[in-house]
Amino acid sequence: MPKCSSTTVAVLKRRRAQPWASNREPIKTAMILQPTTTPASSSYTKSSNFWLDDGNVIIQAQNTRFKVHESVLCQQSPQFIKFQGPRRPSPEDSVCEVVIVDELEDSVDLLLSALYGDDIPSRFTYSNAKTVTRLLDIAARYNFEAVKQQCLETLQSFFPLHVPQDQLREPDYNDDIYYILNIVHRHSLHSILPSVYLHFFSRNSMHCLLQAISTKGRPCDLPNDPLIISHVQLCMSKLSIAVSSFFASLNFSATPPLPPCTLSTNTCSDTLRTASFSAMADCFIAGRVIFPPSTPSSKHGSGDWDNLCDSCLDEYCLLYEAGITKLFDSIPEIFGYESTEAWESLDDFTPYKFNVL
């Protein structure tokens, strides 16, 4: 029997139940560029990272100003070409044209770091998915094409369109997955949407989602965002497809899928095998489709999965990985597309209409 990856075994033994935070960041929907010739005010703060002595244009976000090179902005974004023109050399800040942007100062600092820094894939790791998503969002709104594409490629490495057979990576996004999911939908990032939704379902209970759909409000601290609520409704209406595929791949109606243990010590009883499998099924129904809790629910029996022998745990992991792969491949069908190939034909950043049946 092939061995299950050590990463998967370790992940299956960890509890991944963390509360949602309530202080979510707002998601911008519009972009504003407003040049002004008003003299510099004293009610602003100079950026500690981007106040360049030879800069010739000032960007103001909230109460922070960034003095940078106009040529850097114009070369990478046509949005800023309209502000290009002769500048009189002067040490006075008021001579520089001020471009006011309706953005968080941290987002502008992040964008400028990308424009003046190294390639994005070399700067961010898997744990920085929200930061990369945030950078993609602002880069897309201001047409910084190179930054946008680098962010997309980085996110595609974090959220692959197909589940790698040799690894199931444990997410570490917590509340960030809501932000990521909204940005993915806002910019129609089809190539990473299935994987993001898989993480989304792993962080929520089905009870919480159903409650949000029925009330259209914010139970369980779900965001009161029509966009996310509508997509959750769509997923819920199609989730039976994924459930059927998942259980079919696990041969749910067959004899207990975990083999009897032959070890004289640390032996898994039929009761524990049944409880373990039932707990896995319960975790799926509860919406935690990637990483089940380490201890089965009391209504399904007692016993910790850590007590499973190596043989049972290997078989358990193989079955679970098969189920996850089946579920992952069925996500395009949940959205009304007949095949994964049809989904792959969709272009990122191109809005589409769900084929709701």
Contact in structure between 233 and 213 (CB atoms under 8 Å): yes
Give the rounded distance of the alpha carbon of 300 from its chain centre: 32
Range of lowest pLDDT (32-46, 143-157, 193-207, 287-301): 287-301
Q: Listing from the earlier edge strand, what are the strands of the sheet with 64-68?
A: 33-36, 97-101, 57-61, 64-68, 45-51
The structural domains of the chain, with segments of one domain joined by +, span: 235-345
If pLDDT is split at 50, 70 and 90, which confidence band does 326 have? Answer: low
Q: Residues 23-29: what's their mean pLDDT? A: 41
> CA gyration radius for the chain?
25
**Mean of the pLDDT values across residues 97-124?**
83
- Residue 138 above 80 pLDDT? yes
Q: What angle do CA 70, 75, 80 make, to 5 degrees?
A: 55
- pLDDT for 151: 92
pLDDT, tens only, 43-77: 888 988 888 888 888 888 888 999 988 888 888 88
Who wins on pLDDT, 58 or 22?
58
CA nearest to 96, candidates 39, 144, 49, 139: 39
Beta-sheet pairing, 64-68 with 57-61: antiparallel
Task: Give dist(CA 180, CA 136) in Å, integer.
Answer: 10
Contact call for residues 268 and 305 (beta carbons, < 8 A):
no
Beta bridge partners of 118: none
Indicate the average pLDDT of the chain: 62
Which of 157-166, 205-214, 313-322 is the least confident region? Answer: 205-214
What average pLDDT does the segment 70-92 reach? 65
pLDDT of the residue at 140: 92
Q: Give the dihedral sign, CA 79/145/128/19.
A: positive
Average pLDDT over residues 1-25: 37
User: Under 8 Å CB-to-CB from 245, ≥6 apart: which residues?
Assistant: 326, 327, 329, 330
User: Can you state the percent helix, strand and coil of the chain, rounding each to 5?
Assistant: 50, 5, 45
Checking if the pLDDT of 307 tops 90, the result is no
Between the two ends of the chain, the Cα-to-Cα distance in Å is 41
Specify which residues 299 forms β-bridges with.
Answer: none
In this predicted structure, the answer to whether residue 183 has a pLDDT above a threshold of 80 is: yes
Range from 153-162, 286-295, 316-325 that averages highest in pLDDT: 153-162
Q: CA nearest 16: which of 290, 300, 286?
A: 290
Q: Rounded to an integer, what distance in angstroms lies between the CA atom of residue 202 and that of residue 14?
A: 13
**How far, CA to CA in Å, does 309 sit from each of 197, 259, 276?**
32, 10, 12
**pLDDT above 90: percentage of residues in the chain:** 8
Residue-wise DSSP of 173-187: -TTHHHHHHHHHHHT
> What is the per-residue pLDDT for 298?
33
pTM of the model: 0.63
Bridge-based pairing state of the strands 45-51 and 57-61? unpaired
